[in-house]
């Protein structure tokens, strides 16, 4: 059956009305919203009016001249005046903008110039700071080196050990002692066709050292050579100690100064001095007793410094070590240059005494061999004297004047002799 469209339409209209009645109605406009709406409407109307006026002006400008009436001409004149005013206004604003742009450019250049100047100033300050830092680092390095040098100097000043390459080092000194032992062995040889041994004197020498060996016993000649070596070394050390004895040396020097002519020379220490230390005038020209006088002055100076350390307050190390360093340095000098002079009287005197002493126990009939013996003895005696000084330059000073006596147990690491390495507590006889 066909439906009635009016009924359907009515039902749809009723449904829409029911839907609209169920929908939420928009809120009523506020006063501010009304003002904004009116403002937007006014702007829209103004824009519409302006748009319409522009369209009309365009149509008037596009009309041919012959179609223009007096009213259109007046309108064109008004447009011309209007556009002229606009143009003048635009030009005026353009000039204003140009001036403003120029002013802004000037301000920018000024600011840019100040910025560049400030930048260069800070760069220069940074550069100067870098130079100053570099100089400070250099000064710091120099101060560190200087402090290191002072520390090293102080360390050397307070160090009593000799350097590895120094001739007074124990290793170097051991080499010298071995060379001296070899020279002693050559000088004290008792074997050969042209050598004669005095039996009685030899037995007396054995008894002196409490040795049970006698002439003719087994291996008595090597023992005699060893005894002669000890005799030489002991004699030289005793003679040197006597020569350096302060009392005797001062007496000798008093006679020397009494007989010596007065001279004004820079090589002499004047008698009058403001120093509290008594100064002994030392004449350096041809003074054969110079070594002894140096030893005397050194002993006096060491005694004074020790007295200063004991009688004056202080906690420094340099004062305590100075007497040791003075002794070491003076004896090191004497151990290098002491008696290094051709035909020194003291060395010649010792040479004569040693040769006469050897001839008491052993006679050599060969004149050429005797001449070589004298030359070698002179050289050996100077070496032993230097060894005496260099041993006194050690800290502590070793007990080098003592010898193993008869009856001492054998010590393979300290003794040389004709025994096996596995000897068991055999005694020296």
- Residues 282 and 279: their CA atoms lie apart, in Å, by 9
Phi and psi torsions of 195, nearest 5°: -120, 130
Q: Is residue 308 part of a domain?
A: yes
Q: How far is CA 79 from the centre of its chain?
A: 97
- Are 144 and 137 in contact by the 8 Å Cβ rule? The answer is no
Are 244 and 385 within one domain? Answer: yes
Which residues touch 361 (CB under 8 Å, ≥6 apart)?
Answer: 197, 198, 201, 202, 205, 224, 228
Which among 97, 127, 158 is the end of a domain? 158
Q: Is 98 helix (H, G, I), strand (E, B) or coil?
A: helix
Predicted pLDDT of residue 407: 79
Instruction: State the pLDDT at residue 40.
Output: 62
In a domain, 14, yes or no: no
- Please count the residues of the chain: 429
* Same domain membership, residue 174 and residue 131: no
Of residues 428 and 326, more confidence is placed in 326
Q: Contact 392/244 with Cβ under 8 angstroms?
A: no
Minimum mean pLDDT range among 11-20, 44-53, 98-107, 376-385 = 11-20
Reply yes or no on whether the pLDDT at 262 is more than 70.
no
Name the more confident of 31 and 7.
31
Give the residues across from 427 on adjacent strands: 409
Of residues 296 and 232, more confidence is placed in: 232
| CA–CA–CA angle 298, 299, 301 (5° rounding) | 65
pLDDT at 255 over 90: no
Q: How far apart are CA 29 and CA 37, in angstroms?
A: 10
Instruction: Calculate the average pLDDT of the chain.
Output: 79
For position 336, what pLDDT does the model report? 94
Confidence of residue 344 (pLDDT cuts 50, 70, 90): very high
Q: Is the pLDDT of residue 138 over 70?
A: yes
pLDDT at 247 over 50: yes
Residue 381 binned pLDDT confidence (cut-offs 50, 70, 90): very high
CA distance 8 to 288: 159
Q: Which two tokens stand for residue 59?
A: 């149509």
Q: Are residues 297 and 359 in the same domain?
A: yes
Q: Based on the domain organization, do 186 and 282 belong to the same domain? A: yes
Q: Are residues 120 and 203 in the same domain?
A: no
Q: Which of 158, 186, 212 is the C-terminal boundary of a domain?
A: 158
Give residue 177's pLDDT. Answer: 93
Same domain, 249 and 112: no
Residue 50: inside a domain: yes
**Structure confidence at residue 15 as a pLDDT band (50, 70, 90):** very low
Asked if residue 282 is part of any domain, the answer here is: yes
What's the CA gap between 240 and 339, in Å, rounded? 12
CA-to-CA dists, residue 42 to 52, 53, 172, 314, angstroms: 15, 16, 119, 107
pLDDT at residue 186 tops 80 = yes
Query: Percentage of the chain surpassing pLDDT 70?
Result: 73
Q: Residue 196: beta bridge partners?
A: 363
* pLDDT on residue 5: 46
Same domain assignment for residues 133 and 72: yes
Taking residues 70-90, report their average pLDDT.
81
Per the CB < 8 A criterion, the answer to whether 174 and 390 are in contact is no
The helix or strand, by DSSP H or E, that contains position 256, with its residue range, turns out to be: helix 246-259
> Is residue 197 within a helix (H) or strand (E), and if so which, with residue range?
strand 195-197
Let me know whether 238 and 175 are in one domain. yes
Residue 406 lies in a domain: no
Average pLDDT over residues 159-188: 89
The closest alpha carbon to 287, from 338, 330, 245, belongs to: 338
Q: Where are the alpha helices (DSSP H) in 159-219?
A: 170-187, 199-208
Q: Say whether pLDDT at 354 is over 90.
A: yes
CB 326 within 8 A of CB 302: yes
Domain annotation covers residue 383: yes
Q: How confident is the model at residue 86 (pLDDT cuts 50, 70, 90)?
A: confident
Quote the pLDDT of residue 87.
84
Residue 406 has pLDDT above 90, yes or no: no
Distance CA 172, CA 387 (A): 11
Residue 222 sits in the same domain as residue 333: yes
Which of 158, 192, 221 lies at the terminal end of a domain, its last residue?
158
Number of domains composing the chain: 2
Q: Do 107 and 239 fall within a single domain?
A: no
Q: What are the structure tokens assigned to 173, written together?
A: 């000194």
345 and 288 Cβ atoms separated by less than 8 Å: yes
Claim to verify: residue 189 and residue 51 sit in the same structural domain: no
What local confidence, expressed as pLDDT, does residue 37 receive?
63
Say if residue 153 is in the same domain as residue 221: no
Q: What is the pLDDT of residue 2?
A: 45
Whether the pLDDT of residue 279 is over 60: the answer is: no
In the chain, how long is the greatest CA-to-CA distance? 181
Residue 5 lies in a domain: no
Q: Running DSSP on this structure, what letter comes out for residue 268?
A: S
Average pLDDT score over residue span 14-38? 56
Look at residue 418 in the predicted model and tell me its pLDDT.
61
Higher pLDDT, 37 or 93: 93
Question: pTM value?
Answer: 0.57
Q: Does 114 reside within a domain?
A: yes
Q: Is 64 left (phi over 0), alpha (psi -120 to 50) or beta?
A: beta
For the cut 80, the answer to whether the pLDDT of residue 158 exceeds it is no
Q: Which range has the worst mean pLDDT, 27-36, 125-134, 276-285, 341-350?
A: 276-285
Calpha distance 336→84 (Å, rounded): 119
Residue 157 has what pLDDT? 60
Residue numbers of the domain that contains 143: 45-158
């Amino acid at each position: 059956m066909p439906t009635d469209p009016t009924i359907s339409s009515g039902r749809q209209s009723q449904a829409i009305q029911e839907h609209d009645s169920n929908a939420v109605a928009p809120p009523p406009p506020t006063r501010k919203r009304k003002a904004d709406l009116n403002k937007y409407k006014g702007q829209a109307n103004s824009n519409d009016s302006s748009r319409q006026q522009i369209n009309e002006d365009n149509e008037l400008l596009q009309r041919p001249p012959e179609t223009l009436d007096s009213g259109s001409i007046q309108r064109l004149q008004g447009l011309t005046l209007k556009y002229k005013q606009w143009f003048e206004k635009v030009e005026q604003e353009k000039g204003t903008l140009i001036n403003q742009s120029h002013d802004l450019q000037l301000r920018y250049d000024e600011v840019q110039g100040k910025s560049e100047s400030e930048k260069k100033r800070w760069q220069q300050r940074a550069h100067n700071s870098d130079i100053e830092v570099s100089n400070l680092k250099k000064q710091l390095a120099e101060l560190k080196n200087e402090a290191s040098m002072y520390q090293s100097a102080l360390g050397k000043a307070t160090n009593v050990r000799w350097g590895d390459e120094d001739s007074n080092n124990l290793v170097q000194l051991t080499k010298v002692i071995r060379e001296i032992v070899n020279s002693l062995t050559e000088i004290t040889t008792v074997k050969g066709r042209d050598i004669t041994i005095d039996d009685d004197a030899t037995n007396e020498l054995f008894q002196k050292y409490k040795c049970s060996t006698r002439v003719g016993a087994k291996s008595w000649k090597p023992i005699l050579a060893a005894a002669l070596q000890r005799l030489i070394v002991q004699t030289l050390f005793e003679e040197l100690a006597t020569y350096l004895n302060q009392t005797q040396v001062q007496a000798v020097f008093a006679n020397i100064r009494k007989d010596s002519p007065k001279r004004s020379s820079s090589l002499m220490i004047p008698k009058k001095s403001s120093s509290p230390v008594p100064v002994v005038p030392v004449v350096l020209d041809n003074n054969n007793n110079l070594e002894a006088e140096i030893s005397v002055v050194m002993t006096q100076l060491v005694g004074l410094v020790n007295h200063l350390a004991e009688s004056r307050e202080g906690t420094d190390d340099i004062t305590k070590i100075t007497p040791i360093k003075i002794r070491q340095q003076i004896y090191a000098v004497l151990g290098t240059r002491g008696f290094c002079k051709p035909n020194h009287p003291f060395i010649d005197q010792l040479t004569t005494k040693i040769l006469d002493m050897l001839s008491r126990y052993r006679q050599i009939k060969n004149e050429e061999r005797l001449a070589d013996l004298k030359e070698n003895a002179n050289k050996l005696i100077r070496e032993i004297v230097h060894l005496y000084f260099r041993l006194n330059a050690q800290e502590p000073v070793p007990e080098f004047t003592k010898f193993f006596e008869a009856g001492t147990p054998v010590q393979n690491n300290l003794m040389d002799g004709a025994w096996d390495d596995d000897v068991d507590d055999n005694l020296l006889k």
